[in-house]
Amino acid sequence: METLLTKKKQGAVVTDDGCYFSIHAPQINQIQLAIFNNDEPRFFDMKHTDGGAIHQCFIPNVTEDTQYSFCRKIKGSTQWLLDPCAKKVTRHPLCKKMLAAVTVKDQFDWQDVERPSIQRDETLIYELHAKGFSHLNRDLPEHLRGKFLGLCHPVMISHFKRTGVTTLQLMPIAASIDEAHLKSKKLTNFWGYNPVAWNAPDNRFAINDPVDELKTTVRELHREGIEVILDVVYNHTAESGEPGPVFHYKALDPLFYLHGYDGQFQNFTGCGNTIDLSHPPALKAVMDSLRYWVEEFKIDGFRFDLAATLGRRGECFDNAGGFFQTIYQDPVLSGIKLVAEPWDIGPDGYQLGHFPMGWLECNDKYRDTLRSYWHFNGQGLGEFATRIMGSRDIFSASVWPQKSSVNYITYHDGFTLQDLVSYQQKHNADNGEQNRDGHGDNRSCNHGVEGRTDNQSVVALRERQKRNLIASLLFSFGVPHLLAVDSLSHSQGGNNNAYCQDNNVSWPEWELDNNAKYFQTWMEAVISLRKQYMMPFIRAFSGAGRHTNRVEWLKQAGQPMEWQDWESERTIALHIGIGQDGNSLMILANPTADAASFSLLENQWELLLDTRQSSINKVAPKVVDNRFELIPHSMAILFQRGKAEHSL
């Protein structure tokens, strides 16, 4: 029977006796429910409630896996409307341009598997595309490649655990559609940042049932101690601007979208429309969606695409706005991981560091600084020092790890790591926009040859630069983010905006050449070194005890850096120590084309890694005396045990 709880939920709620349907549609006087049986619809009138804003009905004997749609009559024609709260979607039986919803009964055997609950400071994010990452992995059964279930197969779990990542960040997995301009070019929105149903896992990632298969995937990853966070798009929908298609909100409640002074949709997302979360029904829809993913799929957190949009009131950003306050007080959402892409393209759209307490933020300043330092002969030494120390000019160490930087070198948008060291220019001709799309400021370097080459000296330098960038990332303060395809040394052929390339441009090859094998093994070892050696420093330098530690910036001869040195020097030595006599780390960096000899002042340093080497000795670290030489374009990390450990 219907219950009060059921009546408060929008969309379709299956009970033991039938199904309750509800939709928010204040702009429509009369709306009907259509239930499809063998493509023949049965129509049901819906009753007005809540002052006419809510339309609802209860249909007995409706079970799960029933197709349905909402509709209204306009000038004698039927306008089909997709349930915006749909939990599963399928092709509309009567209208090829539309999708229909499918009822879902929320039940699943989680087998008492608990969430891993990885601490923020222990988190290592591994970003991947649910289809693309495993599509060419021939060690997987063919029917699982590119599917949700492929991600929890023992072959993939072995890869994740061997790599040492704690948290998978899945690129958008909610149902999305292709934009019109892509259809005309016979391309597809591979990345999925064009959502049409926020709550429905996309069918393209499933063998049969996307809901059950995604839940199974999350359960099995959790069983192995691996978290799952979703990249979510609540800043716009696939309805685009005024001339764009109508799927739901445009007809149901146009106030979902932010409007300008001329009555036109504001386009702060670059996608034609902008969700207005100062509109209470829009805020409710987003919050209901977030809770659904957490409660029914046990999702561990979210990365919010263009998150500045979510805090907008008109043209202004408010980090104390309704969206943030609602999450803060919500018992379901307040304890999960929240990651912001802290900008959009609207006015006052760059908000790095301005999100509320409890949010992690993707740090593009880190990305650009690290790229410039290693590719341009030590450019920006002072900012390099700031970024690897956790960007404390933006994220105070007093509140780490509750609010801290997500550090990254590469993300899904932009060059892969392999292309970052192999291409001077973007090569996006395959996207059909005359190479006009994609970021123009890549801070990349081809090291003498554009693209692939057999020149072994160029290849060796590229491999060393990859190691420099990843070693810097993994021994920086903050939460590291790795692009999963980088662990396979994947190249997109210089395409830095492969959003529409559902092909080998985006699918990494798993049969690796020797250089890729060496790099994969090396990266796994450095992640292990981070956990063993860097994590105690991250904890010691966070919060109230941060001022009790030692930090020294040194020149090659061992003298402290003076203010004028930050403009003239290119090499650097960072000495950090826990307390007054605890363990120490020394990070040496030489981004120049000349060798650099460093005076260490103290003896008995253990060499953890030297990027001149493509492998790491896992048996016993090499002991280094008071001098260490770096070859051109290389770095080293050394460790010294404190007095307390020596006395044990």
Stretches in the chain below the pLDDT threshold 70? 1-8, 618-621, 644-648
Three-state SS across 535-551? HHHHHHCCHHHHHHCEE
The string of DSSP codes covering 330-394 is -TTTTTSEEEE--B-SSTT-B-TT-SPTTEEEE-HHHHHHHHHHHHTTTTTHHHHHHHHTT-TTT
| Alpha-carbon span 552 to 598, nearest angstrom | 14
| Alpha-carbon span 154 to 140, nearest angstrom | 9
Q: Report the candidate in 135, 131, 212, 213 with the shortest Cα–Cα distance to residue 172.
A: 131
The string of DSSP codes covering 223-288 is HTT-EEEEEE--S--TT-STTS--SSHHHH-GGGB-B-TTSSBP-SSSSS--B-TTSHHHHHHHHH
- Taking only Cα atoms into account, the Rg of the chain, rounded to an integer number of angstroms, comes to 26
| Alpha-carbon span 151 to 432, nearest angstrom | 31
| Alpha-carbon span 625 to 160, nearest angstrom | 37
The alpha carbon of residue 33 and the mean position of all alpha carbons in its chain are separated, in whole angstroms, by 37
Q: Report the candidate in 204, 15, 219, 19 with the shortest Cα–Cα distance to residue 99.
A: 204
Tell me, what's the pLDDT at 644?
Answer: 64
What is the DSSP-derived secondary structure letter of residue 76? T
Q: Report the candidate in 286, 345, 339, 270 with the shortest Cα–Cα distance to residue 315.
A: 345
Does this model's pTM top 0.85? My answer is yes
Q: Report the candidate in 4, 34, 1 with the shortest Cα–Cα distance to residue 15.
A: 1
Instruction: Choose, from 220, 305, 463, 610, the residue flagged as catalytic.
Output: 305
The residue behind tokens 């796994």 is 524
Tell me, what's the pLDDT at 93?
Answer: 94
Residue 461's φ and ψ, nearest 5 degrees, are: -65, -40
What is the DSSP-derived secondary structure letter of residue 532? I
Tell me, what's the pLDDT at 1?
Answer: 45
Q: Which two tokens stand for residue 124?
A: 């290592």
Instruction: Choose, from 179, 213, 220, 341, the residue flagged as catalytic.
Output: 341
Active site residue 220: no
Active site residue 305: yes
Is residue 83 within 8 Å of 12, Cβ to Cβ? yes
Is residue 630 within 8 Å of 566, Cβ to Cβ? no
pLDDT by residue (tens digit) across 235-284?
999 999 989 999 999 999 999 999 987 889 999 999 999 999 999 999 99
Is residue 628 within 8 Å of 588, Cβ to Cβ? yes
Tell me, what's the pLDDT at 3?
Answer: 52
Q: What is the dihedral of CA 532, 537, 538, 543, to 10 degrees?
A: 140
Listed in sequence order, the residues at least 6 apart from 193 whose beta carbon sits closer than 8 Å to its beta carbon are 172, 176, 233, 271, 305, 499
Query: Which domains does the chain possess?
Result: 4-102 (2.60.40.10), 120-367+374-415+470-535 (3.20.20.80), 548-646 (2.60.40.1180)
Q: How many beta carbons lie within 10 A of that of residue 452, not counting itself?
A: 12
CA angle 446, 450, 451 (to 5 degrees): 95
Tell me, what's the pLDDT at 549?
Answer: 95
| Alpha-carbon span 160 to 487, nearest angstrom | 10
